[in-house]
Amino acid sequence: MNPELKKKLLERLFSSEAYYLEMMEYYTAALNAAKEALNWFEQHQPTTEKPVLDSLHAWKIRVIPNMEGYLSGKEEDIEQYRLGDPDYMEGTAFNVMSLNRNISQNVSEKWWDYVPQELQDAYFDNLYKASKMAANIYRALGGGFAARPGAILDEEITGPVDEQQLLKYLKPGEHA
């Protein structure tokens, strides 16, 4: 596939409803894993260290409600997108993209050290995928890719994309 066509198709993919919904599936899986990990921790109470328990409490009252809030706007994001206003999707993508950084800067993650590895993996792996996709959405809708010509083709920035998936975004009369 030539680079110009690939660029055009990547822009369509990253600004599509389907891609946004896929990103939100990973995000939902991360949220569910975080809730499951919180429940596991509370049922097993593996430590009584105050910094760890304070971290857990912060997640319960701040992180999880914020994550749920981002998810609760999904239907409105899609509705506005269908009406021609992608700003809602762009805003949610920005929130998802920056969530991990905001948590790391503002809330401790000490309690995760006491949770089984499979729950940690379910949370962090899904959040990573959602964050990567959210960054692509944010750059596509917000003009970030346009400001950096060629960045959309750099898999170190976007992550790998299957060219067969891109073919779904060909318009009538376009050829790969």
pLDDT the model gives residue 113:
94
Residue 173 lies in a domain: no
At CA 17, angle to CA 12 and CA 19, rounded to 5?
70
pLDDT the model gives residue 103:
87
pLDDT tens-digit profile of 34-58?
A: 999 999 999 999 999 999 999 999 9
Domain enclosing residue 85, as ranges? 3-162
Residue 170 lies in a domain: no
Residue 56 lies in a domain: yes
Question: Cα torsion at 129, 133, 138, 143 (round to 10°)?
Answer: 140
pLDDT under 70: residue ranges of the chain: none
Longest dimension (CA), the chain: 65
What is the length of the chain? 176
Count: domains in the chain: 1
Residue 19 lies in a domain: yes
pLDDT the model gives residue 106:
87
Q: 131: closest CA among 17, 27, 35? A: 27
Count of beta carbons in the 10 Å neighbourhood of residue 45: 10
Residue 86 lies in a domain: yes
Residue 158 lies in a domain: yes
Is pTM beyond 0.85? Reply is yes
